[in-house]
Amino acid sequence: MSKARLRDVIERGRYDAVLFDLDGVLTDTAQIHASCWKRMFDEYLRSRAQRTGAALCPFDIATDYKLHVDGKPRYDGVRDFLHARGIDLPQGTPQDAPGAETVCGLGNRKNDLVNAAIAAGEVLSYPESVALLRILRENGIKCAVVTSSQNRAAVLEAAGIADLFDAAVDGNTLIELGLAGKPAPDAFLQAAKALGVPPARAVVVEDAISGVQAGASGNFGLVIGVARYGNADEMKRHGAHVVVADLGELIDRS
């Protein structure tokens, strides 16, 4: 069998860099995040219902996760979901105790749950995504990881792929530089800047609608959607130029 190579979708003469989202694209951590969001929100909603007598409507991963929190910075996700439920909490500060009845407190509780899952060895990478990363690097294409998560370094280390990137932009970067999270294009634009590549010469790879929107609004040369859950049409409606079910589809093994 000949050596695996890139298909024509990511053309070396046309693109100089590929910017990858993390959760759900490189690592199978989207499920960890979704389950931790559900546990945190359900704990809070149950407590609120007991105190106020309001009806309990649990967090739904199939709808609430995708609509309100997927791909967004943690505190934005807390605030957007609560607003969708008609709940308005004070913002608080990042130093709030986990579980405090503030946006930051609830976000910190969710972060503790994610860190516990990472420490328990629950992080797995997608083999085809790692294979694509290695082929891109062999072809001289720069690679960056772009995520709203503040757990980026721990996740990459746990997955064993921390050494495969030329640049990284994560939730900590957004806070440091005062950048807006997805669906704003700021994070991807910062990654392209760090690599010294204009957006038109860069590819964005995303599995979240908010990330696809970020790639489209940033005028990147190519936006690839990874539709692991059958939402290809939705990704195309929001700006994906190409949609695949798995990144192995971008590898030519003939």
Looking at the fold, whether 83 and 145 belong to one and the same domain comes out as no
Are 106 and 44 in contact, with CB atoms under 8 Å apart? yes
For the whole prediction, is pTM greater than 0.85? no
**CATH code: domain of residue 214:** 3.40.50.1000
Looking at the fold, whether 114 and 202 belong to one and the same domain comes out as no
Looking at the fold, whether 18 and 143 belong to one and the same domain comes out as yes
pLDDT (0 to 100) of residue 149: 87
Looking at the fold, whether 129 and 65 belong to one and the same domain comes out as no
pLDDT (0 to 100) of residue 121: 86
Contacts of 237 (CB under 8 A, 6+ apart): none
Looking at the fold, whether 242 and 200 belong to one and the same domain comes out as yes
Looking at the fold, whether 135 and 248 belong to one and the same domain comes out as yes
Q: How far is CA 94 from its chain centroid?
A: 20
Selection from 248, 246, 251, 222 nearest residue 232 by Cα: 246
Looking at the fold, whether 55 and 176 belong to one and the same domain comes out as no
pLDDT (0 to 100) of residue 1: 30
**Residue 110 is part of which domain span?**
31-119
Residue 185, SS3?
coil
Looking at the fold, whether 201 and 105 belong to one and the same domain comes out as no
Which residues belong to the active site? 21, 23
Query: From the CA atom positions of the chain, what is the Rg in Å?
Result: 18
pLDDT (0 to 100) of residue 7: 87
- Give me the number of domains the chain comprises: 2
Looking at the fold, whether 177 and 77 belong to one and the same domain comes out as no
Looking at the fold, whether 152 and 244 belong to one and the same domain comes out as yes
Report residues of the chain scoring pLDDT below 70.
Answer: 1-3
